[in-house]
């Protein structure tokens, strides 16, 4: 891995608040991921020590929830919804168009770490199906051509 | 002839009524304005006959959109032209308004979307600023909390909630008040109030909407709960996917604390309550209460066995009350208005309202709150506005991936916890996803299972393994590798999971599969036995949706691609392999292929039928001689009836080498193509060109030979015929069964059309004609009567326009030709002494839903009126004429006198097969052709093996290259089909629809998205063309035994 | 805001808030933009910015506020205009390009732009009658 030394100072700073709270492992991990974009091993070790929770248990939690990532993520996150409403309205075609365009499968990140493409179940905007969430923006009424266009224009 | 294509057609009613209201002036001004704006070449102006809506005249209708304007005066014209013809907007002021809502801007309560809603939980959503506490207070916010703290004991509070019979809105429907009581009575301290806002069900978003739109209602409900059960602390567990909801919740909490409505000493009392927000981390199973609590504690969100229930042992081992967002948000209203008020809403056992997220294939997607017990169909059709593009409703999935589907026959089911369970679905979280014919129920079930198995936490075996095994079975069915035994396996696995799984996730995972099997088993069987996906969704079985949609499996993309390249003869050859009637179908086919064309998702479907007509017309002067595939055989086959089914069967058998004789009762061949479809839709010489090609294959057609009169089934076998195909069609008009039907002047629809085709038309000049029915025969009769000079043609139909089975373009043409439609009307009595002078009709209104998903017409008592007529043409249905059977039990019939046949189209008499309308009931040419192909395969199989099991054809595939860049046709639009102007149609039977010119047809074909090539890529098949050009596609198939 | 110490305090706040609301509906102009997730995804934020800009450009004074989802997600962005003494009118599918005409015709000329409307909201809210 070309991952060099990680600046762990902000992590220690953040953990001060959660150390004393009961059952705060999940919010602590969420905050940690907010800092680094994903959860490298070193980060998990620090969380384990500071929160006084065994690393094995931390690992158990991280692998259980789909929103924790153990691999580096792209600069942009594109989440195509394939919830029921979107599915019925043709999300599958958008997924394959995006996969073809980016050259990666759902759940993968482009080799240049620009875009991570994911398929998720329901973003709760079913009235606009099919929808995708690109970074923090929900985009509705998609068609494959529009998705490709949006991915093209990501900067 | 190639008339310039028009972008829009404007029809102005020129009936007497409208003339009186000034339609002449309207038309004049319109002509001037269109000219002034230089739209003459784009817009066609048409003066039509009376539309029967004289009170609202002058009427102007604009196609293709079908915009209906009424009371259009000369001075309205500039605005109309500017807004509608130039900008494409609808001028609301000129549109027709139902008398009840005669306001351009109706109150929300009058908009159908809101009319049937009752908003309790959503009362503030969209009305107040969610980030402003005072707006909530202004609408009685926190009054319930005030009432509770000042006048009620905790016991009073949970007693009131209990008395309201509020049931848990998370989906399970447990009594909320009872749960509160359990927690209140639990001994341990401290206690907790937890809100489940982990709305994980795909297709449900009402919790998000409540929190985003009215967060204080949730807070107030939770604080009241805290008071009732004696808790001082609470948690809202919210999905991380809802950042806006979390933000608004935090703002609301901060404001409530600032006002002293949350925190220590609320409203100056000694009651204190603190709230925290916990953000989920993406695990569907955390919607299960014990898993959710584990997640709040910072652990893996795995469920545990219950009891003990959280009311006793909950968060950190302490008594915990856990409810859904909507349950808490209902509480302030219950406290303020009283339990009695709440219990009076909805159905007795499920009081109150339910919120549904109405999504999928429905016009008005969104959130709706309705009283419990409302009819399902009301939600989908009245509130939801029905299915987009006029497609039929297929099913609705309720309760998300752990729910079930409800098919069309249950549209009348009342929507509440218990009734939904009875039909195999659940209330669940309130997702309501509507699907139409494009959704394959097998694939749909597989989709839910994929979701549920991915979200299984893996703790218990039935859920972890059972789901996986079911998914494998479903996957192989969707790929065409299923076995009938699989259906048994699925049911067994489902039973095991329901019985033995630890939590609701595992117990409910089989739900969608079970309900799909319950209502759509035929679709599973189609995948397994016929290797077909009727919805056209399962990639492995569907090369392209158009091919899949064609009953005759015509290879649409291949011939369209060849037309694009100018290779018409090759294109036609591909078409004829499965359908020998390209000239006919190029004119009268309903084009099922176009209904499913993927290009329509982008703009409009490819004009496939016009392309077909062009290539067939183009090759007209090069007569086709069908190729011979099999060696000459000596077993003779008789085909009775020379319609599309009979002739196709005869052709295929002749191509295989059998000597075939066709017996036709009428003086000319063609069946309904010759004697049902009028000349202005299908000219006789065109039909004959297709039929002549069939005779060139060696088929002998004997006309004027009637079964039962000139020959019999026995005489056929005596004459040495080894097999008989009965393709006698459905030529007998159904009776109206009303008084006076025998009077002179009553002409059954098919008889009327036949007499006209035999050149023996009744004299209708100046007569008033009424046609009863809404199918194609009815509309054919209407348009024929108008051509014969009838002064008025009335259409009497008992349902609504959108329910008419006739083709939309035919109905429109009849409208253009001035037919007067009486919808929701049914005749009750034919009037006159001896000869018809009129008909007494009764007005109907739409009632509940019938099994077809249409509103049942219900007579309105006392609404009788008389329509003065000279001729009445009943055209309400046809059935096969089986009088020649004379009750012979050797051939079994079904209801409606169609033949009972096996899977191989074999009747109950050995060696006698049947096909076409005689089996299907009145259908289309292309469906009859498909049956002709199929029965020929069955007869061939029978004559070679002596057995009659069903054979399945797996068509090979053709690959036509794509020599141009599709991107260049991204903006190309479907051309309008040229037509004979309305003014030139009266008094003659000249063809109305005209063909495209070569350039237009070829360019149009280039819009095809070539789904077939994409399929090859997906299936990773070779791009080389299949060499099997010499074999007939119909017969080249591998045969598979029926399992 | 001082903490509410009693039910009477709460009542007072409610009366004041209702008075404010009444004053607001009887004077001046309020523009209400649906800003639930669905509205934002459909472009409500852009629409709101366009409204603010247009008001500024034309020098019209109006109070622009946001609300959550009203349920008709397929018609978002929804924009309501409430003017003194006149019914609250809802416009649907409002994109920024429609804003200038909306402001010009509805606010300046006082004419409802009928073809974009969906309905008007009775003062007591939806679905609460009877």
Please determine, for residue B756, whether its predicted confidence score (pLDDT) is greater than 70: yes
| C58: closest CA of chain B, how far (Å) | 25
Chain A residues touching residue C73 (CB < 8 angstroms)? 125-128
3-class SS letters over B689-750: HHHHHHHHCCCEEECCCCECCCECHHHHHHCCEEEEEECCCCCEECCCCCECCCCECECCHH
Say whether both B158 and B195 belong to one domain. Answer: yes
Does any CB of chain B come closer than 8 Å to the CB of residue A76?
no
CB C32 within 8 A of CB C67: yes
Q: Is residue C15 part of a domain?
A: no
Confidence at residue B102, expressed as pLDDT on a 0 to 100 scale: 34
Residue C129 lies in a domain: no
CB contact under 8 A, B107 and C121: yes
B789: pLDDT strictly greater than 90 = yes
Residue B110 lies inside a defined structural domain of this protein: no
CB contact C73 to A (< 8 Å): yes
- Closest residue to A84, CB basis, from B202, B366, B601: B202
The reply to whether C9 falls in a domain is: no
CA-nearest of B880, B936, B928, B910 to B707 is: B880
CATH number for the domain harbouring residue C116: 3.40.30.10
Q: Interface partners of B (3+ CB pairs, < 8 Å)?
A: A, C
**CA gap B459, A3 in Å, rounded:** 35
Would you list the DSSP string of B204-221? --HHHHHHHH-HHHHHHH
CATH number for the domain harbouring residue B596:
1.10.1060
Whether the per-residue pLDDT at B2 is higher than 60: the answer is no
Q: Which domain holds residue C52?
A: 28-120
Interface test with B, best of C9, C21, C24, C36 (most B CBs within 10 A): C36
State how far residue A155 is from chain B, nearest Cα, in angstroms: 23
Alpha-carbon gap: A15 to the closest alpha carbon of chain B (Å): 15
Whether the predicted pLDDT of C121 surpasses 70: no
> Which residues on C lie below 8 Å from A86 (Cβ)?
none
Residue C126 counted as domain residue: no
Stated as kind and residue range, the H or E segment containing B156 is helix B154-163
Shortest Cα distance from A25 to chain C (angstroms)? Answer: 29
Banded model confidence at residue B23, pLDDT cuts 50, 70, 90: confident
Question: In the prediction, which pLDDT does B21 show?
Answer: 62
Residue C49: inside a domain: yes
Which residues are B263's β-sheet partners? B273
Distance from CA of B6 to the nearest CA of C (A): 25
Q: For B763-775, what is the mean pLDDT?
A: 96
- Both B709 and B835 in one domain: the answer is no
> What's the pLDDT band for B1042 if we cut at 50, 70, 90?
very low
Structural domain count, chain B: 7
Restricting to C residues 11-30, those with a Cβ less than 8 Å away from any Cβ of B are 11, 13-14, 16-18, 20-21
Nearest CA in chain C to B88: C115
Quote ipTM for the complex: 0.89
**Is residue A134 a contact partner of residue A116, using CB atoms and an 8 Å limit?**
no
- Which of A115, A124, A94, A118 minimizes the C-alpha distance to A105? A118
Which DSSP letter does residue B273 get? B
| B294 and B191 in a common domain | yes
Q: In this structure, is residue C34 part of a structural domain?
A: yes
Q: Are residues B606 and B617 in the same domain?
A: yes
pLDDT at B1031: 39
Q: Domain range spanning residue B471?
A: 438-542
Any domain includes B1029: no
Tell me, yes or no, whether B207 and B61 share the same domain: no
Do residues B881 and B731 lie in contact, with contact meaning Cβ atoms separated by under 8 Å?
A: yes
- Residue C17 counted as domain residue: no
Chains meeting C at 3+ CB pairs closer than 8 A?
A: A, B
Contacts of B212 in chain C (CB under 8 A): 36-37, 68-69
> How much is the pLDDT for A109?
94
pLDDT band at A23 (very low <50, low <70, confident <90, very high): confident
Q: In sequence order, which residues have a C-beta less than 8 Å from that of residue A78 and are 6 or more positions away?
A: A98, A115, A116, A117, A118, A132, A133, A134, A151, A154
Restricting to B residues 187-206, those with a Cβ less than 8 Å away from any Cβ of A are 199-205
Class of domain A76-152: alpha beta
Residues of C in contact with A126 (CB under 8 A): 73
B 378-437 residues inside an 8 A Cβ radius of A: 397, 400-401, 431, 433-435
Q: Give the closest-approach CA distance of B899 to chain A in angstroms.
A: 38
The helix/strand/coil state of B866 is strand
**What CATH number does residue B800 fall under?**
3.50.50.60
Which pLDDT tens digit goes with each residue over B966-1000? 888 988 999 999 999 999 999 999 999 999 999 99
pLDDT digits 0-9 by tens, B556-573: 999 999 999 999 999 999
Nearest CB to B129 within list C65, C89, C125: C65
Cβ of C118 under 8 Å from any chain A Cβ?
Answer: no
Question: Does one domain contain both B145 and B288?
Answer: yes
Helix or strand (DSSP H, E) at C3: none
CB-CB under 8 Å, A124 with C73: no
Task: Give A-chain residues touching C42 at CB under 8 angstroms.
Answer: 128, 140
Say if residue B199 is in the same domain as residue B301: yes
d(CA B991, CA B96): 34
Q: What are phi and psi of A139, to 5 degrees?
A: -120, 125
A71 touches chain B (CB under 8 A): no
| Interface touch C42/A131, C-beta < 8 Å | no
Residues of B in contact with C66 (CB under 8 A): 129-131
Pair (B166, B312) in one structural domain: yes
Residues 137-166 of B with CB under 8 A from C: 137-143, 146, 149-150
Same domain for B799 and B775, yes or no, is: yes
For residue C6, being part of any structural domain is answered with no
Number of inter-chain CB pairs under 8 A, A vs B:
129
Which has more pLDDT, A141 or B584? B584
Least confident of A109-123, B174-188, B831-845, C8-22: C8-22
* Rounded distance between C-alpha atoms, residue A81 and residue A62, angstroms: 22
Q: Do A138 and C37 lie within an 8 Å CB cutoff?
A: yes
Between B1037 and C34, residue with greater pLDDT: C34
What's the pLDDT at B653? 97
Contact A124 C74 (CB under 8 A): no
A28 shares contact with chain C (CB less than 8 Å): no
Contact B342, B351 (CB under 8 A): yes
User: Is there a contact between B663 and B711 (Cβ–Cβ < 8 Å)?
Assistant: yes
Among C4, C5, C67, the residue with its CB nearest the CB of B127 is C67
Smallest Cβ distance to A131: which of C41, C74, C76?
C41
Residue B76's pLDDT band, with cuts at 50, 70 and 90, is: confident
| B113 with C7: Cβ contact below 8 A | no
**Residue A128 at interface with chain C, using a CB cutoff of 8 Å:** yes
Write the pLDDT tens digit of every residue in B453-470: 999 999 999 999 999 999
Chain C residues close to A128, C-beta within 8 Å: 38, 41-42, 73-74, 76
Percent of chain B with pLDDT over 70: 93
Query: Within a domain: residue B96?
Result: yes
Residues 9-48, chain C, touching A (beta carbon < 8 A): 37-38, 40-42
Please check the confidence at residue B1018 and state whether its pLDDT lies above 90: no
End-to-end CA distance of chain A: 25
- What predicted TM-score, i.e. pTM, was given to this entire model? 0.82
User: Do B848 and B876 meet the contact criterion of CB atoms below 8 Å apart?
Assistant: no
The structural domains of chain A, with segments of one domain joined by +, span 9-64, 76-152
Please classify residue B496 by burial: count the beta carbons closer than 10 Å to its beta carbon, then call 0-12 exposed, 13-18 middle and 19+ buried.
middle
Q: Which residue has the higher pLDDT, B1026 or B265?
A: B265
For residue B206 the two structure tokens come to 């009402």
Check whether residue B853 and residue B969 sit in a common domain. no
pLDDT of amino acid C24: 65
What is each CA distance from B864 to B792, B829, B848, B859, B871, in whole angstroms?
21, 10, 22, 10, 20
The helix (run of H) or strand (run of E) holding residue C118 is: strand C117-121
> Buried b / exposed e across C83-120, counting CB within 10 Å, b at 16+?
beeebbbbbbbbebebbeebbeebbeeeebbebbbbbb
B638's CB contacts (< 8 A; 6+ apart) are: B660, B661, B662, B663, B716, B719, B721, B723, B724, B725
Q: Minimal CA–CA distance to B569: which of B506, B623, B631?
A: B623
Residue B689: its pLDDT value, please? 97
Are B884 and B918 members of one domain? yes
**In chain B, which residues have their Cβ closer than 8 Å to the Cβ of C130?**
none
State the nearest Cα–Cα gap between C113 and chain A, in angstroms.
25
DSSP collapsed to 3 states, B895-919: HHHCECCCCCCECCCCCEEECCHHH
Q: Name A119's bridge partners.
A: A80
Mutation pick from B394, B433, B516 vs chain A, by most beta carbons of A within 10 Å, is: B433
Number of other residues whose CB lies within 10 A of the CB of residue B620: 12
Residue A138: closest C-alpha in chain C:
C41
**Is the Cβ of A136 closer than 8 Å to some Cβ of chain C?**
no
Q: How far is CA C76 from CA B697, B1018, C34, in A?
A: 61, 36, 7
Question: Cβ–Cβ of C36/B212 closer than 8 Å?
Answer: yes
What average pLDDT is seen over chain B?
89
**Within an 8 Å CB–CB cutoff, is residue C40 touching chain B?**
yes
Distance CA B806, CA B793 (A): 17
- Whether the CB of C77 is below 8 Å from some CB of chain B: the reply is no
**C37: nearest CA partner in chain A:** A125
Strand order from edge to edge, sheet including B320-324: B274-279, B233-238, B192-197, B320-324
């Amino acid at each position: 891995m070309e991952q060099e030394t990680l600046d762990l100072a902000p992590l220690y700073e953040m953990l001060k608040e959660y150390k004393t709270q009961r059952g705060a492992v999940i919010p602590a991990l969420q905050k940690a991921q907010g800092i680094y974009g994903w959860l490298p091993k070193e980060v998990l070790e620090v969380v384990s020590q500071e929160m006084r929770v065994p690393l094995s248990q931390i690992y158990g939690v991280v692998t259980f929830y789909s929103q924790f990532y153990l691999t580096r993520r792209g600069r942009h996150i594109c989440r195509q919804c394939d919830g029921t409403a979107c599915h019925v309205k043709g999300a599958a075609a958008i997924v394959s168009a995006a996969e073809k365009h980016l050259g990666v499968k759902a759940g993968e990140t482009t080799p240049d770490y620009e875009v991570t493409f994911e398929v998720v179940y329901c973003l709760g905007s079913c009235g606009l199906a099919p929808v995708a969430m690109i970074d923090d923006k929900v985009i509705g009424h998609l068609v494959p051509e529009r998705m490709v266009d949006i991915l093209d224009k990501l900067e | 002839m190639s008339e310039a294509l028009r972008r829009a057609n404007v029809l102005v009613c020129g009936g007497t009524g409208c003339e009186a209201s000034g339609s002449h002036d309207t038309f004049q001004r319109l002509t001037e304005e269109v000219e002034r704006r230089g739209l003459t070449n784009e817009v066609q102006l048409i003066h039509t006959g009376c539309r029967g809506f004289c009170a609202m005249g002058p009427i102007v209708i604009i196609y293709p959109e079908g915009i209906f304007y009424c009371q259009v005066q000369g001075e309205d014209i500039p605005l109309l032209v500017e807004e509608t013809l130039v900008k494409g907007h609808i001028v609301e002021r000129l549109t027709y308004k139902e008398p009840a809502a005669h306001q351009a801007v109706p109150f929300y309560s009058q908009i159908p979307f809101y009319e049937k809603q009752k908003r309790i939980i959503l009362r503030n959503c969209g009305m107040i600023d969610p980030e402003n506490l005072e707006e909530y207070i202004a609408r009685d916010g926190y009054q319930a909390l005030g009432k509770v703290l000042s006048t009620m004991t905790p016991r009073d509070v949970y007693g009131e909630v209990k008395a309201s019979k509020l049931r848990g809105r998370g989906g399970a429907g447990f009594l909320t008040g009872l749960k509160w009581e359990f927690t209140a009575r639990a001994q341990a301290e401290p206690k907790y109030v937890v809100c489940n806002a982990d709305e994980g069900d795909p297709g449900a978003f009402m919790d998000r909407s409540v929190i985003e739109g009215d967060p204080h209602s949730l807070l107030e409900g939770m604080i009241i709960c805290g008071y009732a059960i004696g808790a001082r602390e609470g948690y809202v567990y919210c999905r991380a996917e809802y950042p806006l909801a979390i933000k608004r919740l935090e703002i609301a909490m901060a404001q409530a604390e600032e006002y002293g409505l949350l925190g220590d000493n609320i409203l100056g009392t000694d009651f204190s309550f603190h709230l925290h927000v916990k953000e989920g981390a993406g695990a569907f199973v955390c919607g299960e209460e014990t898993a959710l609590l584990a997640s709040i504690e910072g652990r893996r969100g795995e469920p545990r066995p219950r009891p003990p229930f959280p009311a006793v042992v909950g968060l950190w081992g302490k008594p915990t009350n856990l409810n859904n967002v909507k349950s808490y948000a209902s509480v302030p209203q219950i406290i303020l208005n009283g339990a009695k008020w709440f219990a009076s809403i909805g159905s007795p056992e499920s009081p109150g309202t339910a919120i549904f997220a109405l999504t999928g294939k429905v016009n008005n997607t969104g959130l709706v709150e309705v009283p419990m017990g409302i009819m399902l169909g009301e939600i989908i059709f009245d509130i939801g506005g029905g299915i987009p593009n006029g497609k039929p409703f297929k099913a609705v999935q309720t309760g998300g991936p752990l729910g079930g589907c409800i098919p069309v026959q249950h549209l009348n089911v009342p929507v509440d916890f218990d009734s939904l369970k009875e039909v195999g679905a659940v209330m669940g979280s309130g997702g309501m996803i509507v699907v139409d014919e494009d959704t394959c129920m097998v694939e749909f079930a597989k989709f839910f299972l994929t979701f549920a198995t991915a979200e299984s936490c893996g703790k218990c075996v039935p859920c972890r393994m059972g789901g996986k095994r079911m998914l494998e079975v479903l996957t192989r069915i969707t790929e065409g590798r299923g076995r009938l035994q699989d259906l048994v396996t699925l049911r067994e696995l489902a039973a095991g999971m329901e019985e033995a799984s630890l939590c609701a996730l595992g117990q409910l995972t089989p739900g969608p599969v079970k309900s799909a099997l319950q209502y759509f088993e035929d679709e599973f069987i189609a995948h397994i036995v016929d290797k077909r996906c009727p919805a056209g969704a399962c990639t492995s079985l569907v090369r392209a949706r158009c091919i899949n949609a064609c009953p005759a499996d015509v290879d649409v993309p291949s011939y369209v691609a060849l037309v694009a390249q100018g290779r018409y003869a090759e294109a036609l050859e591909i078409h004829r392999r499965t359908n020998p009637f390209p000239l006919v179908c190029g004119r009268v086919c309903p084009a099922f292929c176009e209904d499913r064309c993927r290009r329509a998702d982008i703009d409009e479907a490819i004009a496939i039928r016009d392309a077909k007509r062009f290539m067939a017309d183009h090759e007209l002067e090069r007569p086709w001689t069908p190729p011979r595939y099999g060696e000459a055989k000596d077993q003779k086959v008789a085909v009775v009836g020379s319609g599309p089914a009979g002739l196709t069967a005869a052709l295929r058998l002749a191509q295989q080498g059998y000597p075939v004789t066709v017996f036709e009762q009428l003086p000319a061949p063609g069946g309904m193509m010759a004697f049902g479809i009028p000349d202005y839709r299908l000219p006789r010489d065109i039909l004959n060109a297709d039929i002549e090609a069939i005779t060139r294959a060696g088929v002998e057609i004997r006309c004027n030979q009637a079964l039962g009169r000139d020959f019999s089934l026995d005489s056929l076998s005596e004459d040495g015929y080894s097999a008989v195909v009965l393709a006698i069609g459905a030529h007998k008009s159904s009776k109206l069964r009303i008084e006076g039907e025998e009077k002179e002047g009553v002409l059954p629809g098919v008889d009327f059309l036949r007499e006209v085709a035999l050149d023996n038309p009744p004299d209708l000049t100046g007569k008033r004609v009424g046609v009863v029915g809404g199918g194609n025969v009815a509309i054919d009769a209407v348009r024929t009567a108008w051509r014969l000079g009838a002064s008025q043609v009335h259409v009497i139909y008992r349902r609504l326009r959108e329910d008419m089975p006739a083709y939309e373009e035919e109905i429109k043409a009849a409208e253009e030709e001035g037919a007067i439609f009486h919808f929701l009307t049914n005749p009750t009595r034919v009037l006159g002494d001896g000869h018809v002078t009129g008909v007494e009709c009764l007005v109907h209104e739409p009632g509940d839903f019938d099994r077809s998903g249409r509103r049942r017409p219900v007579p309105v008592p006392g609404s009788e009126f008389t329509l003065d007529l000279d001729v009445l043409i009943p055209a309400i249905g046809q059935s096969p004429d089986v009088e020649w059977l004379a009750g012979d039990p050797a051939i079994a019939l079904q209801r409606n006198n169609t033949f009972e046949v096996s899977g191989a189209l074999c009747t109950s008499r050995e060696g006698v097969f049947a096909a076409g309308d005689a089996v299907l009931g009145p259908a289309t040419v292309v469906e009859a052709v498909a049956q002709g192909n199929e029965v020929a395969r069955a007869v061939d199989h029978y004559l070679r093996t002596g057995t009659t099991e069903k054979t399945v054809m797996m068509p090979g595939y053709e690959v036509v290259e794509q020599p141009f860049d599709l991107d260049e046709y991204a903006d190309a639009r479907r051309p309008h089909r040229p037509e004979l102007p309305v003014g030139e149609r009266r008094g003659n039977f000249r063809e109305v629809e005209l063909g495209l010119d070569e350039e237009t047809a070829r360019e149009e074909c280039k819009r095809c998205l070539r789904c077939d090539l994409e399929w090859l890529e997906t299936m990773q098949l070779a791009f080389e063309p299949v060499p099997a050009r010499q074999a007939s596609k119909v017969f080249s198939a591998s045969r598979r035994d029926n399992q | 805001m001082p903490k509410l110490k009693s039910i009477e305090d709460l009542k007072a706040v409610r009366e004041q808030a209702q008075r404010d609301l009444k004053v607001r509906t009887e004077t001046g102009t309020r523009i209400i933009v649906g800003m639930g997730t669905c509205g934002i995804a459909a472009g409500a934020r852009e629409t709101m910015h366009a409204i603010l800009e247009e008001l500024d450009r034309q020098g019209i004074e109006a109070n622009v506020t946001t609300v959550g989802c009203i349920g008709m997600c397929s018609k978002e962005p929804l924009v309501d205009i409430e003017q003194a003494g006149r019914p609250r009118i809802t416009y649907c599918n409002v994109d920024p390009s429609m804003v200038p005409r909306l402001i010009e015709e509805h606010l300046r000329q006082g004419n409802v732009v009928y073809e974009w409307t969906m309905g008007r909201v009775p003062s007591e809210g939806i679905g609460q009658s009877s």
